[in-house]
Amino acid sequence: MTDFEDIYQQYSPQIYRVCLGYTNDAEQAKDLMQETFISVWKNLAGFRQEAQLGTWIFRIATNHCLRALEIVRRMPPAEMPLHLADVPEESPEEKLSWLYRAIATLNETDRIIISLELEGLPQAEIAAVVGLSQGNIRVKIHRIKEKLAKQLKMYERI
Amino acid sequence: MNEFDQLRTLWQTADTSALPDSQAMLRLVRKFRNQKLQKKWLVIGLAVLFSLLITAVLCLVHFQLPGTYIGGALMTLSGILLAITNLRSLKRFYRLNDYSNAEFLAFIEQTRRNQVRYYQKTMVWIVALASIGWFLYLYETVAPYPEWLAGTYCFAFAYICVLWFIVRPRAFRRDARKLDALRQKIENISKQLT
């Protein structure tokens, strides 16, 4: 098995989830994940170990997400799904769908940051991926978590 | 379990079973790695092929008028110029690896400047050389037949006018719009990161 295949098997589900969190669209997320691994494949030989491999791959993925113009056109700023009260029985898929829609209310970089946090990346690594200081990331994550927790409470009340 | 842990557990339930396996991804990667730059490679290939073809014709066929050779040489030159311009552009794109947003923004600005320079200078030279070359090159073949001469030159002139006054400005506006949208997006993201 080649290095690329190992890397793909290890990181593709994580990258896909981050892209899905950003786009809230499975097809676009798949496209972005594929573009990410095309970039990884092209640049793997030149990867100089200056950053951790995971950090490097997540940075490529976030760059692809943030620079994809199609997503702006196809995904207008989302509103919170207040109509969820109409859903009689909430399945895990519906809950997940709610989470993506809640994330879609955030701005682009916050969407990326919280997706990486939900993926379980250490905050130092998130800072390296996004290009912000660790302190700044900590504050941003705290604020995003507060927003999401508030929305979660609202959702549970509904 | 706190609220965020609940969300994290929920996050991990996303279905990733439909993702291509590593073999399928490798096939995909090999197929699509240069897809975005395929158009540029195609232009380069066609321009080189065209230049080689015209050169071969000029070498193999004996023409009477020096204007035909000058015309052929000008068309060859325009083909080479087009290939070089696109090769230089490709070189910039291939260097675009793992850039920060600020570097990417600078890349877009440079692309925008290059685009304006291409439309205002390089393209003018390429089209002028190719058009003059074409007119000169055609003359010897159609000169003995006045109707063909008039018809061919009318068609050539109309074709160049359509390219110059309709296709070119539209292509420029479309590319400029795309670059502006990308620049605005990156600027917006850069603001979020400050």
B38 burial class (0-12, 13-18, 19+ CB within 10 angstroms)? exposed
Query: What is the count of residue pairs from A and B with beta carbons less than 8 Å apart?
Result: 107
Chain B residues closer than 8 Å to A20 by CB:
14
ipTM: 0.81
- Give the model confidence (pLDDT) of B94-129 as tens digits: 766 556 777 777 888 888 888 889 888 999 999 999
- Give the model confidence (pLDDT) of B14-37 as tens digits: 888 888 888 888 887 776 656 667
A5 burial class (0-12, 13-18, 19+ CB within 10 angstroms)? middle
Q: A18 CA to chain B: closest CA distance, Å?
A: 10
Q: Do A130 and B23 touch (CB under 8 A)?
A: no
3-state SS string over chain A?
CCHHHHHHHHHHHHHHHHHHHHHCCHHHHHHHHHHHHHHHHHHHHHCCCCCCHHHHHHHHHHHHHHHCHHHHHHCCCCCCCHHHHHCCCCCHHHHHHHHHHHHHCCCHHHHHHHHHHHCCCCHHHHHHHHCCCHHHHHHHHHHHHHHHHHHHHHHHHC
* Residue among B4, B22, B28 minimizing CB distance to A9: B22
- Give the model confidence (pLDDT) of B146-194 as tens digits: 999 999 999 999 999 999 999 999 988 998 888 888 888 778 877 777 6
Inter-CA distances, A113 with A107, B46, B78, B112, Å: 10, 45, 49, 30
Q: Could you tell me which chain B residue has the CA closest to the CA of A12?
A: B19
| Domain coordinates in residue numbering, chain A | 4-157
Report, in angstroms and rounded to the nearest whole number, the Rg of chain A calculated over CA atoms.
16
The answer for A 111-130 residues in CB contact with B (under 8 A) is 118-120, 130
Q: Do B14 and A16 touch (CB under 8 A)?
A: yes
The domain A4-157 belongs to what CATH superfamily? Answer: PhyR, sigma-like (SL) domain (1.20.140.160)
